[in-house]
Amino acid sequence: MKEALLILLAYLIGSIPTALWVSRSFFGIDIREYGSGNSGATNTFRVLGSKWGTFVMIIDVLKGLIAVKLALLLPNYMENELALTNLQLGLGMAAVLGHIFPIWADFKGGKGVATLFGLVIGISPWTALCCSGVFLLVLYLTRFVSLSSILASIAFPVFILIIFNVDNHAYRVFAVVVALMVILTHQKNISRILRGSESKVPILKYRDRRRQRRRNDDSK
């Protein structure tokens, strides 16, 4: 019974529509009517800029992390690492589902990548650090948040199954499912990347301007 209540609470935490509230409160718009139509950090970067995109991403990550930490309210799980991890997975996934289908926003949310990342931070921070390295490297090279998320999600089961060889069957299955889920939810982004029409986030713009100036100087 306590577990069910915590899972419900985790869903409600995940349902907090950060991007939607930010867009309505500070810009007077519904972010779901712009860009990709998603209420998540990536679309916030695209529509509202890096400042608000970063803010939304941090809050969405915290939703997953806080949901996982709700397991600490049940001390009896502290004695069984396997049971604790499985409970944390359930709580984290409830938060992710809340982010994707938020009760506070007509069940129209984001894709859940940032909240998933918060889940991973709460359960295995070293894996989260490695995945964030993949994400940041791809983002630096391409400025595509979608591509960065996809490749980081593919790296996730590689770290869990091969590099760290985590001895938890449920977590191993979860890692594979996450990678597949992120790929499936980013089908439109993949199509736009292949067509060359995917929007880049407004970061590293000064670097890009310097490169453009160099190209212009070289062409003179």
Structural domain spans, the chain = 2-211
* Amino acid in position 42: T
pTM, to two decimals? 0.85
HSE of 81, CA atoms in CB hemisphere, 13 A = 7
**60 and 86 in contact (C-beta within 8 Å)?**
no
- Can you tell me the mean pLDDT for 136-140? 92
Residues 199-210 have pLDDT tens digits of 887 665 555 555
Tens digits of per-residue pLDDT, 169-199?
999 999 999 999 999 988 988 999 999 988 8
Cα dihedral 43, 44, 49, 53 in deg (nearest 10) = -120
